[in-house]
Structures are given as structure tokens and as C-alpha cells.
Amino acid sequence: MPSWEFGRMLRRWRDRVAPEAVGLPAGGRRRASGLRREELAALAGISPDYLTRLEQGRATSPSVQVVEALARGLRLTDPERGLLYREAGHVAPGPDLVPSRIPPSVQRLLDRLENVPLVVYDATWNLLLANTPYDALMGETGHWHGLERNAIWRNLVGPAGRVLTTPDERAEHQVRLIADLRQTVSRYPADRSAARLVTELTAQSPRFAELWKTGNADPGRDPARHKVIDHPTVGRITLDCDTLLVAGDDLRLMTYTAAPGTADAERLALALVLGTQTLVD
């Protein structure tokens, strides 16, 4: 059965991944030759119990999002990723669909930035990856599902986050996000998930419906390079927020940093220490 072969592949590929290859410490006594189950589960954003059931063939039909997250955590090559998709009963995304893959070269870059809060979105602003420092700074993202993982939905419909903005700044940011989504939909007209996202956002947000109808297609430059984060323990932190476009893979990588030696850098470091301890607990 495909589910059994899918599980065998997961176990085989998990055993070959060295912990240091994914930014994990290699020290201590390890029964597993590669990644532990809980380590891969954390990398993929799923529960260890679910990963166990997948590997044992007791869970079938994993979603495309889960398959992609597992392929990313296992650092699979393109042919291996395609095989994992097929064994899960899916077709690997082609060039006519919005890319959701973080390629190994970009992942190596992310690994080098392991102490910098960062988040990666696809071209429809669906969350692909948030590292541990980001969760420590902004709040845990691992429990987000479906539309909750979409930055446009969160800006229009979702609960308020930790970034402080004026009403005008928030409105301008919404305009830019929706204009960027419009460009994405035009680049990937065959992607049903992108079209479905537009339908869902239109149904849930009158603001989205209004802006989508006006047809603004130029996101323009985001003048708000500085973000004020209201951290529940440390207080307000003013950070530089840079959005980097990975052109070939149509990804958006956002980083949050502070100038060394400043009070904001000290508060950021404290927020990461306190937040990481909370996440571990």
C-alpha cells in the first residue's frame, strides 16, 4: 500500500539526515542514526504522534502542506520530493502553480540566520516557515491552520498581532498586500488554491472585496522598514524589518533585526531568550 511505502521512505530519509545539517546540536547519546522523530516533527510543524502514525502506515492521505513540510525538513532533492508527493497520492506542484518549496540553497541561508527572527511566505502570503526566534518575538505560529497561516487574512480578519501600527499604516499595508496578491494570481492563473484564497477572502472581508474590486495592481515600495513590536514581557522594541524576494522561487523572506549596541538590540535579545524558554517549556 502507498501508505506503508510512504512511511518507510520517511523513516529511511529521516535516518540519513545529520542533526547538524538542519541546525540541531549533534551532541549527547542518540539512538537514532539521523533525526529523532520529535526533531523532524518540529521541523515540519506536525505532532510527533502524527509523524509516528505516518511512518507506521496508520495515518493515510497527508495533506500537500504536510508533505511539503516533511520534504523541507528532510532536505529532499527534487526527484525525492516528487516521489514523496506521489506516494502520498499527490502531484508535485509544477511551474504553473504557486511555489511552496524552500530549496536547499535557501534553507542553508536560513540555517545561517538561526538567531535572527525570520519568516518565509509563498507568493500568496501563506506562511511556509517561522523559525524559533520569530515565534519567541511574535508569538507561537505552530498552531495556525488554514487561513490563519495567510498574512492577508491575518491583517484583515484575524486577531491583532504584536506589531503596532496606526490605522493609516495598517490600511496602506493592506493595499500593498492585496496588490501583490493580484500580481500573483495573474502569474499563476491555473492555480486553484490561489483562486480559492481570493474567494474566501472576499467572503470574509468587505475590505478585501472593496480593494480587490478597485483593481490596484502596483504594490509599490513599503516605506515602513521599521516595526514596533509590543512584546508581552519585554515591552516595545523598534526593529528593522526587511523583506527579501527570492525571485526564482517566488518566496518572501522577512527578517527582524536591531542595530548592535542599542537598547532595542538588548530588548530583542532578552525577548528571544525568554520566548525560547517559554516555547521549550
Write out pLDDT tens, residues 110-140: 988 989 999 999 999 999 999 999 999 999 9
Between 191 and 216, name the one with better pLDDT.
Answer: 191
Q: Beta strands 127-130 and 163-164: pairing type?
A: unpaired
pLDDT of 1:
44
Say which range, 42-51, 129-138, 149-158, has the weakest mean pLDDT.
42-51
Assess whether pLDDT exceeds 60 at residue 2. no
pLDDT of 26:
64
Mean local confidence (pLDDT), 232-238: 95
Q: Give the range with max mean pLDDT: 25-34, 46-55, 259-268.
A: 259-268
Sheet of strand 251-257: strand arrangement: 127-130, 118-121, 251-257, 235-246, 226-231, 163-164
Strands (E), 179-257: 226-231, 235-246, 251-257
Of the candidate CATH numbers 3.30.1240.10, 3.30.450.180, 2.40.50.140, 3.90.1310.10, the domain formed by 104-280 belongs to 3.30.450.180
pLDDT of 224:
61
Tens digits of per-residue pLDDT, 47-106?
A: 899 999 999 988 888 888 889 889 988 988 888 988 999 899 888 877 788 998 888 889
Q: CA-CA distance, 119 to 100, in Å (whole number)?
A: 13
Task: Work out the percent of the chain whose per-residue pLDDT is above 70.
Answer: 91
**Range(s) of the chain covered by CATH 3.30.450.180:** 104-280
Assess whether pLDDT exceeds 80 at residue 152. yes
pTM: 0.78
Assess whether pLDDT exceeds 90 at residue 33. no
Mean local confidence (pLDDT), 145-169: 92
Assess whether pLDDT exceeds 70 at residue 149. yes
pLDDT of 219:
64
**Range(s) of the chain covered by CATH 1.10.260.40:** 2-87
Which three cell numbers, joined as nine digits, stand for 151? Answer: 498574512
Is the CATH number of domain 2-87 1.10.260.40? Answer: yes
Q: Beta strands 251-257 and 163-164: pairing type?
A: unpaired
